[in-house]
Chain A
Amino acid sequence: MIDGGIVIVGGGPAGLCAAITAAQLGAPVTLIDDNPRLGGQLIKQTHKFFGSKSHYCGIRGIDIATLLEQQLSATPTKVILNTTVIGHFKPNILGLANQHTFTKLSYQRLIVATGASENTILFENNDLPGIYGAGAVQTLMNVFGIRPGKNVLMVGSGNIGLIVSYQLLQAGINVSAVIEALPKIGGYHVHAAKLARLGIPILTSHTIKAAIGKEYVTGAVICRVDKNFKPIKGTEKRLKVDTICLAVGLSPLVEILSQIGCEMVFIPQLGGQVAWHNENMETTVSGVYVAGDASGVEEASTAMLEGRIAGAHAAATLTGKFTEAEAIINQAKFELAAIRQGPFGEKAAKGKEKMMQTVR
């Protein structure tokens, strides 16, 4: 069996930064992703990144992916694409599957940077074709250049819901409305304002009651909700849409970590179940790290910084370059703290704090 050295699962911003940092510190690195291209969520993000204090604000996600890819290709990192890590065997072996084969790979250190998966919500007919996660809509229209439909109802007004709505309009697709159960818009005002200028209604205190259709979506029933998110009778409205896009949050992808036996904690502010980790992103299993959305749903800039920390720490414990690693880690921690002080970093900051308090 081959040994992967520091093995990183997931080639999004977190995994890429972990790989670049670890390789620059002289560690042997293997990076695995199930897509044909590196970049994770970034490869479908056409908008300019918003203003966290990281270096990449103002740059489009797709361009950040290219930048990181270039940095990675200057290192001797081994990259394995189109391959899913489907399991873990004790003590330190991963099961890898691609279209045709199953192989095993051992590791000396493991960094799990698998990102997050999209949530769904309960409503009548929520399994009909034509109902997609926001990420799926982005993949279709921004990666493949295919319109998912002609008329879309967007559920959720967080940044993802707002940004993807705007991207739908850019792709020539009509957005009938954006609905939000909370009494106020969840995402940044700039994103909401762009939609408002184009005349797209953002209906707060509204939810989806049902999808209409037999074989696929032909419409939706929305209604108002009261303070306790209970539907208000008589406020139902029918919309003629062929697509319903759900942007109702993400949950960290933690299967590998729980299979390994890392201690898990449930923290709503981080998106649900996460592997407990210390300041260096190390879980309760020595040598196993987590970074990015898999460690708590946040944003790309924090994912990159967490990746850098995990990569540096894992590399130092292998190569002995502790002083060099420490400088990188301290700088990244400093930037992380700055981002999390901002209004949109607050939630994650609370979540991480809560986790630290559950001492292991």
Chain B
Amino acid sequence: MSKRTSKRNTPTRITDHPILQFNRGREITFFFEGEPMKGYEGETIAAALVANGVKVFRYSEKHKRARGFFCAVGKCSSCLMVVDGKPNTMVCMEPLREGVRVERQRGRGKI
């Protein structure tokens, strides 16, 4: 299983858009499963992960099925991850912070 599908300077960030301009914040380093990744201040952890090619956020409790995120607005609980050791963090709502450690959640997660 590959941790991510693309390397740094990933092409998934939109730079030219006919209508929108993206004023990204300061560049931030964070860690996904121990691996350093870059994101921007002002985006959510979920957004930064997707931009780095991470698709699997957690594995379901019973059938260990891979889960990504679905709603991106804090309504579906599909995106729960372990953030700085804290399980069940809704990463589609959680702002990205410098040095934050993000891990895939397996099952319920222990507190």
Interface residues of A (CB under 8 A from B): 34-36, 46, 60, 62, 84, 99, 117-118, 120, 127-133, 135-136, 139-142, 144-148, 170-172, 214-216, 253
Task: Please list the 9 inter-chain residue pairs (A to B) with the smallest Cβ-Cβ separation, ordered nearest first.
Answer: A129-B68, A136-B72, A145-B22, A216-B55, A139-B72, A144-B47, A129-B55, A145-B14, A147-B12
**Please, what's the 1-or-0 string for B72-104, where 1 marks a CB less than 8 Å from any CB in chain A?**
111110000000000000001111000000000
**Additional A-B contacts beyond A129-B56, A135-B71, A135-B73 (7; CB < 8 A):** A129-B68, A133-B70, A141-B14, A147-B12, A170-B19, A216-B55, A253-B75
In the bound complex, do residue B74 and residue A84 qualify as a contact, i.e. CB atoms below 8 Å apart? yes
Q: Which residue of A lies closest to B75 (CB)?
A: A117
In the bound complex, do residue A130 and residue B55 qualify as a contact, i.e. CB atoms below 8 Å apart? yes
In the bound complex, do residue B14 and residue A215 qualify as a contact, i.e. CB atoms below 8 Å apart? no
Interface residues of B (CB under 8 A from A): 1, 11-20, 22, 24, 43-44, 47, 50-51, 55-57, 60, 65-76, 92-95
In the bound complex, do residue B72 and residue A132 qualify as a contact, i.e. CB atoms below 8 Å apart? yes
Q: Within the complex, which residue of A128, A132, A171, A214 is in contact with B17, where a contact is CB–CB below 8 Å?
A: A171
In the bound complex, do residue B57 and residue A129 qualify as a contact, i.e. CB atoms below 8 Å apart? yes
In the bound complex, do residue A145 and residue B13 qualify as a contact, i.e. CB atoms below 8 Å apart? yes
Residue numbers in A under 8 Å from B74 (CB-CB) = 34, 84
Question: What are 18 A-B pairs with beta-carbon distances under 8 A?
Answer: A34-B73, A117-B71, A117-B73, A118-B75, A127-B65, A128-B68, A133-B71, A136-B69, A140-B72, A141-B14, A145-B15, A146-B14, A146-B43, A170-B18, A170-B19, A172-B14, A215-B55, A216-B68
Q: In angstroms, how far is the closest chain B Cβ from the Cβ of A100?
A: 11
Residue numbers in B under 8 Å from A36 (CB-CB) = 95
Q: In angstroms, how far is the closest chain B Cβ from the Cβ of A224?
A: 27
Q: In angstroms, how far is the closest chain B Cβ from the Cβ of A140?
A: 6
In the bound complex, do residue A118 and residue B71 qualify as a contact, i.e. CB atoms below 8 Å apart? yes
Q: In angstroms, how far is the closest chain B Cβ from the Cβ of A60?
A: 7
In the bound complex, do residue A215 and residue B71 qualify as a contact, i.e. CB atoms below 8 Å apart? no
